[in-house]
């Protein structure tokens, strides 16, 4: 199944509960926008494209289950739901992008209540379907950067689980594998939530791609020993100048890649490029609860003393000077990014 999808029989949203993988595969069913917002906040679903599609389906739930008697009342309900969903996670730009697209579709609508409900659901489904096609196009472009025999370092999870289906950076790796290229992947475990060790490893198992899990702080070792030829990551928001906000630890990985002359590629759907933000300094960075760091255990025992404090930024910003190229569905974008990213967004 897709990471997130609409159940047309029950008018519900179904999504893979990523908190339970790889130990258990379970599908969560959601029946209102607040449940969707909670699922985004609590990382039942995660990854910028998947978050955007989930938010769109959250508005579809509002529309299809509304008790409104007229179009204006439904518009009001949709706006309330959109405001709640928008605040679920601040860094991923796809969240606001999808909600803005959904609300925009209602603003120009001139018809009856039932037709508006159908329009909202159709628009959410379009966002989901388009994501899959966009990812496949990105994968085809990005696979051109991978050579037979490459070992690739990958951070966090950017596969089908981070999108509606297929994936961004991990989708590129999957495409190269399906093209017959002999590749090997070193997966950063990606603390504190271990998306690399849990989710990316689980996905590569399904695809039959050879991989090994490495600790986050060992990537520099492999890069310095010439044991990795490429680095591929995703992005939750990319600024107009090409600064990339991605899972915490990406910046250190990019520094190590730069120092060792290893290409560092970000795989980014254009919906994740925020041309309204000039640089990464302006990207809001989500800081999550200390418990995600402190609740980790080793051999059944807590890793930190009782009463310890912790800081837990979920993302960091990699400056454009460390980015070799940005892969989009419209092609591979080279520097200067402030000139070439707007062209990619416009499809040129």
Q: Cα angle vertex 48, ends 50, 142, to 5°? A: 95
β-strand 184-188 against 151-154: which pairing, if any? parallel
236 is catalytic: yes
Q: Which of 188, 236, 274, 316 is catalytic?
A: 236
What radius of gyration do the chain's Cα atoms show?
A: 20
Q: What is the DSSP letter of 214?
A: E
Dihedral, CA of residue 231, residue 237, residue 242 and residue 247, to nearest 10: -30
CA distance 33 to 61: 6
Q: What is the DSSP letter of 262?
A: -
Helix 93-107, helix 113-143: angle, nearest 10: 140
CA distance 264 to 287: 25
Catalytic positions are 236
């Amino acid at each position: 199944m897709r990471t997130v999808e609409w159940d047309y029989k029950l008018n519900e949203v179904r999504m893979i509960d990523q908190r339970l993988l790889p130990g258990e595969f379970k599908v969560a069913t959601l029946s209102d926008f607040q449940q969707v917002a909670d699922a985004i906040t609590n990382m039942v679903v995660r990854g910028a494209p998947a978050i955007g599609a989930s938010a769109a389906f959250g508005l579809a739930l509002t529309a299809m289950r509304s008790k409104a008697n007229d179009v204006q009342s439904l518009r009001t309900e949709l706006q309330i739901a959109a405001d709640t969903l928008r605040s679920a996670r601040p860094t991923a730009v796809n969240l606001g992008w999808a909600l803005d697209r959904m609300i925009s579709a209602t603003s120009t609508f001139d018809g009856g209540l039932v037709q508006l409900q159908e329009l909202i659901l159709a628009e959410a489904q379009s966002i989901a379907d388009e994501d899959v096609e966009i990812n496949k196009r990105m994968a085809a472009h990005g696979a051109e950067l991978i050579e037979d025999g490459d070992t690739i370092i990958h951070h966090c999870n950017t596969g089908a689980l981070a999108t509606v289906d297929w994936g961004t950076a991990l989708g590129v790796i999957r495409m190269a594998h399906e093209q017959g290229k002999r590749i090997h992947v070193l997966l950063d475990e990606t603390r504190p939530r271990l998306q690399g060790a849990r989710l990316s490893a689980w996905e590569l198992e399904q695809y039959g791609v050879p991989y090994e899990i490495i600790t986050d702080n060992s990537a520099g070792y492999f890069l310095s020993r010439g044991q990795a030829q490429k680095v591929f990551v995703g992005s939750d928001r990319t600024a107009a100048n090409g600064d990339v906000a991605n899972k915490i630890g990406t910046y250190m990985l990019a520094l190590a890649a730069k120092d060792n002359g290893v290409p560092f590629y970000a795989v980014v759907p254009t919906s994740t490029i925020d041309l309204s933000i000039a640089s990464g300094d302006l990207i809001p960075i989500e800081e999550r609860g200390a418990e995600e760091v402190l609740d980790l255990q080793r051999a059944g025992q807590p890793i930190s003393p009782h009463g310890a404090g912790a800081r837990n930024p979920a993302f960091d910003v990699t400056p454009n000077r460390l980015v070799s190229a940005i892969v989009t569905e419209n092609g591979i974008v080279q520097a200067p990014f402030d000139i070439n990213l707007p062209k990619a967004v416009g499809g040129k």
